[in-house]
Structure 1
């Protein structure tokens, strides 16, 4: 324990506090090490990449339990199927050791995922037989008094009394019920830890596109997001940890989000983990293309089981037979095959029917024919056997594998649908049967663990605009498979294979950037992410593959910008600072009247220009520092940052002409008192940014045709048109950016609508 604390004390930047690994955490980790399929205790507790050390880092960046009240938000990033659940279970155990009285887990959006998470938490934390936890699942108001009693008992003896664990489905009704329960509880002085599993799904505000298209008010929140915010408002002292393997939305489009994290930490997978690099970079022979003619579509009717599906079945039976011949009792008990055709359950029934018929036919043929003519039966499996032998040299002889199919495999295979239909909403009991074929769609996506997955058949098309994180979450074939990686095969269409391969580069870039800034402010990470030369591997699809395009072209102007007093004050200080520093470094500021293109009806312009400010300085000093706290503005601002970073990479010497409108003396505008678009917020000017005063020259005219142009200005905002005496919000910072057509960039942000 002393060594652990010594290591924690050396972490840079320093932790807010140093969580102690006590009896609860040690009992949990020891129980995991005793699991037949579990890691060694040394792997869990020793080293800076151990589960324990990383959990201490994560909790140590949260709000200390000794503080009276407050809130903190953190992002925890792992790979798909890499051990995120193990991580947050360890964080939960540490929280119990260090005086947290309540833990809330948002356990996904689907019933089967919540049940899977609850089953694991119940087993791993010893909820049923231990003395550490009271567990409440999807609590309603009628259990509030029970939880109240448990909290009061905990307050009297925090070390000996059980703490409260609440698991809740991330659905509106359940979250609303939870908020009502929390409102009745004596939570003052009770440190609470909230875990949002798969935090990029459903939790974020999905109304940005509707706000942009003026379909809803700028203040609108999507329902799940709103209920999560309400839940948080009911808890005086809490830390909110967002767990995900696909953090693009959390990192790049959430600057204005109320769930915006202030720090990020990482989950490091163990040595046996196999992810995107293992399948799509280092071992390309594990991936097999499904011919387009074998994929059903509106223009391509497929009436019988595709040849590639039958081949995948033969691969699975060989892998299952190898497992039957070599398995160790109590360990690695399953081998499975996943068929993932599409979201629609109608297609699941087609593939389930094809699979049932193909399996029944193949089983009958092998059982009948193998005793008579083993060579002829072996010839049916020869191509798949040769392929497996090339990637798994220890494969048993083909004849032995077929014998094992007959004696040990055929009677132990179960083929089921896993989807939302009433007759398919059944738990897969992994311990009851060793070999499974699962056919399904969304329920086999995000968060669902397929035990011993060896063969994946995924004819599901890439689609017109697949989000990168959504695509990655289909990769249930990632996981701790190093010992039998050579027996794995993935059947996908060619464009899906390419998309996965591209995503590996994208994921590696994001993770490498986060490793350098682990635990630091995400504002600083965002700055380096945008400016780093490594942006190239992600261009142009930084957030999604073929997602919604935002053109960085022409005038780009915020509509509401800063929506709170803290961000408004921060922006005032920012503008004051760069006004002074840029005039000193890149000045002097010249009156616009000195430039022939701005000659107009007035001999002297109120506007001044600082010519040739380096683009890097504009990005680093201003655009990456300004607080953008409106959801729609933040989305466009991300596009601006990504587009300008791409320009900077290609043309590092680019300059920007900076226009100081009205020489940065505040101009009067009527403020928007929440009366709708374009701003919809009292800290925004009600009229459009550019004045339309009479004359040949107006505000829109002040830009350089062949250069990037940045207009800076201050507003005083009041309630009455043309009556500056009504101004009650002073020195509001505003800006506008103009991008010439020859410097135009198209960027992509993930459309959460």
Structure 2
């Protein structure tokens, strides 16, 4: 908690709420030191980019304190998300001492075993520091079985790496005499069949009896890949066919009778429709928890006028969220609309620089997201178009001043004044000197674009929010959705077609925390997609209302569980 306050700048109230929210999860798990093995399966429902990682980081910390010793965190399906999750856990949970494990970081060969020697937050001591190896004061060390750069691989040392310490070898690991003197193992894996297969094989080869290991499985983005989507009509003679990731998950749960499964998602629709009669699947039979909407969070309802009955002519920046933040894309004249989005990106960057110079906190990242189809050729074409537009935008000369002044006076200044969030509101004369500075930071080599996809032929810097400040236009598709946090996102140009509600909400990377620049956030979106988001938002809130019935606890257990609810009976 001290780390969140001193290093992350959290206030007391959000810390208290996080403490309560994580306790609500941990109290639903089975006592890891009890003699009889048992599993629970549950689902925690948050909001898109709303702090789910902070929640399961806290849950892991409390679970380790309680005695859980094998922690498996399953992230999404991309390396970029797995790396982001590994770093967050290393920084906020594992800590410097567990990363170093006695290695001198000043040793010339240290870079071969330590991931973060060139990481700005490591250099500036922003990783949690315990002050001493936890095991030196009778607390469990956390052994990382994966690193930021390397997903799980078959262990050369195999048995010993996954073998837990036991003070009394005549007693099982779960016995209190052994459990609270043993260390924890942390595995952060992406949902990839070969990776999970390696983990399953190593667990089978470990010298420990798997039925004795208290394990916690955190399944982030649990509605992606984890759910069995095989058509039941293809099952043969009562035998269920399973998709690859679902099969590996089922195997893990079968191997580890003391494993507690906790799924995390912002779009739970697939999870709650898992067959509840399939005991080997991940149906959240024991509990459903809906996280509160955190303070300072911008979600779907902050971009849509869900219950506003005012006529269009009476809507203003002050009373209409859509008018303040959404800019509707019309058919035709795409270049003009993209130019407006690009101008908004540069202008909002200049306002951020002005605010920094006048006492606001530092804005490390500043990004614009251009969402395209999943086709890399289309993404590359869009990136080239933005580069051409940038070269003619004249941000380094006075030629752009009239265009930017009109945008500032007609849009940015009146929105900031109407929202009145307490951040410094400049005049255009105040902002103008920062325009060239902003443009230079965005495109130091003349190219403002980073393409984020699987195309290996593009020569460009790596997208890495951890190692450097990112001030860029990000062009991509699926890699920039599904759990990946786009830091500093201020302007979004969303030109994808409408998908089903679940996928649509996951594309909303503009949801999140926007401290110090909430009034600058703009989303360029088609009316069709706007309407689809609004409908999805209404469905989501109705569903969250239904989830509240599972929150009540009686004698330390949920009063109503999904397995006993008539909804699934």
TM-score band by shorter chain is 0.7 to 0.9
Asked whether 1:503 is paired with 2:536, we answer yes
Q: 1:485 to 1:56 in 2, by over 3 A?
A: same
Q: Write out aligned runs for 1:732-751 (5 A).
A: none
Q: Residues 282-329 of structure 1, C-alpha deviation per residue, up to 9 Å, x if partnerless?
A: 5011112222335xxxxxxxxxx6221111011111111111111257
Q: Which of 228, 248, 255 is matched with 1:234 structurally?
A: 255
Aligned pairs (5 A) from 1:42-81? 42-45=13-16, 50-68=17-35, 69-81=37-49
Does the Cα contact within 8 Å between 2:374 and 2:478 map onto a contact in 1?
yes
Kindly indicate whether residue 210 of structure 2 is the aligned counterpart of residue 207 of structure 1. Answer: no
Higher relative contact order (CA 8 A, sep 6+): 2
Q: Which residue of 1 aligns with 2:125?
A: none
| 2:347 aligned residue | 318
Answer whether contact 2:450 2:463 (CA < 8 A) is retained: no
1:252 aligns with 2:273: yes
User: Closer, same or farther in 2 for the Cα pair 1:231/1:352, shift >3 Å?
Assistant: same
Instruction: Report the Cα distance in structure 2 between the residues aligned to 1:234 and 1:149, rounded to whole angstroms.
Output: 15
Query: Residue 646 of structure 1 aligns with which residue?
Result: none
Q: CA deviation at 1:432?
A: 2.4
CA offsets per residue over residues 373-420 of structure 1, 9 Å max, x none?
Answer: xxx723344135421222212532123322101134423445211112
Deviation at 1:218, TM superposition (A): 5.9
Mapped pair 1:136 → 2:153: no
Q: Which residue of 1 aligns with 2:364?
A: 333
Question: How far did residue 162 of structure 1 move?
Answer: 2.9
Match of 2:293 in 1: 269
State the Cα deviation string for residues 608-643 of structure 1 (Å, max 9, x = none): xxxxxxxxxxxxxxxx63xxxxxxxxxxxxxxxxxx
1:359 pairs with 2:397? no
Distance 1:321 1:525, change over 3 A: farther
The answer to whether structure 1 residue 343 and structure 2 residue 352 are counterparts is no
Pairing of 1:634-649 with structure 2 (within 5 A): none
Q: How does 1:488-499 map to 2 (within 5 A)?
A: 488-499=521-532
In the alignment, the residues of structure 2 paired with residue 250 and residue 183 of structure 1 have an alpha-carbon distance, to the nearest angstrom, of 28
Q: Which residue of 1 aligns with 2:5?
A: 33
Structure 2 residue 221 is matched with structure 1 residue 198: yes
For the residues of structure 1 that align with 2:361 and 2:457, how far apart are their CA atoms? 31
How far residue 146 of structure 1 moved from its aligned partner, in angstroms, is 3.4
CA distance in 1, matches of 2:89, 2:453: 23
1:226–1:493: structure 2 CA closer, same or farther, 3 Å change rule? same
Distance, in Å, in 2 between the alignment partners of 1:160 and 1:32 is 27
Tell me the equivalent position of 1:283. Answer: 321
User: 8 Å contact 1:335–1:435 — kept in the other structure?
Assistant: yes
2:96 is the alignment partner of 1:124: no
Matches within 5 A, 1:489-568: 489-518=522-551, 519=558, 520-523=560-563, 527=567
Answer yes or no: is the 8 Å Cα contact 1:87–1:267 preserved in 2: no
Q: Which runs of 5+ in 1 are unaligned?
A: 1-28, 295-304, 371-375, 528-623, 626-753
Matching of residues 465-480 of structure 1 within 5 Å: 466-480=499-513
Taking structure 2 as the reference length, the TM-score comes to 0.78
Q: Tell me the distance in 1 between the aligned counterparts of 2:15 and 2:351.
A: 30
Cα separation, partners in 2 of 1:108 and 1:151, compared to 1, 3 Å: farther
- How far is 1:216 from its partner? 11
Aligned to 2:468: 432
Contact 1:378/1:402 (<8 A) preserved: no
SS of structure 2 residue aligned to 1:450: coil
SS at structure 1 position matched to 2:226: coil
Shift of 1:253: 4.2
RMSD: 2.5
Larger Rg: 1
Q: 1:377 aligns with which of 401, 410, 423?
A: 401
Q: Which residues of structure 2 form unaligned runs of 5+?
A: 99-132, 134-140, 147-151, 306-319, 418-423, 552-557
In structure 2, distance between residues paired with 1:153 and 1:317: 61
Partner residue, 1:183: 204
Tell me what 1:442 maps to.
478
- Residues 396/228 of structure 1: CA separation in 2 closer, same or farther (3 Å cut): same
Distance 1:490 1:57 in 2: 35
2:127 paired residue number: none
* Whole-Å separation in 2 of the counterparts to 1:176 and 1:468: 32
Match of 1:487 in 2: 520
Contact 1:198 1:242 in 2 (8 A): yes
Contact 1:455 1:489 in 2 (8 A): yes
What is the CA distance between 1:469 and its match in structure 2? 0.9
| Alpha-carbon separation, structure 2, partners of 1:471 and 1:158 | 44
> What is the distance in 1 between the residues matched to 2:479 and 2:566?
33
What is the rounded CA distance, in whole Å, between the counterparts of 2:466 and 2:415 in structure 1?
Answer: 27
Structure 1: how far apart are the matches of 2:548 and 2:84?
30
CA–CA separation in structure 1 for the residues paired with 2:486 and 2:55: 19
Alignment partner of 2:41: what SS? strand
TM-score calculated relative to the size of structure 1:
0.60
Q: Quote the residue 2:309 is aligned against.
A: none
Specify the SS of the correspondent of 1:293.
Answer: coil
1:532-587 Cα deviation digits (max 9, x unpaired): xxxxxxxxxxxxxxxxxxxxxxxxxxxxxxxxxxxxxxxxxxxxxxxxxxxxxxxx
| Structure 2 contact 396–439 (Cα < 8 Å) conserved | no
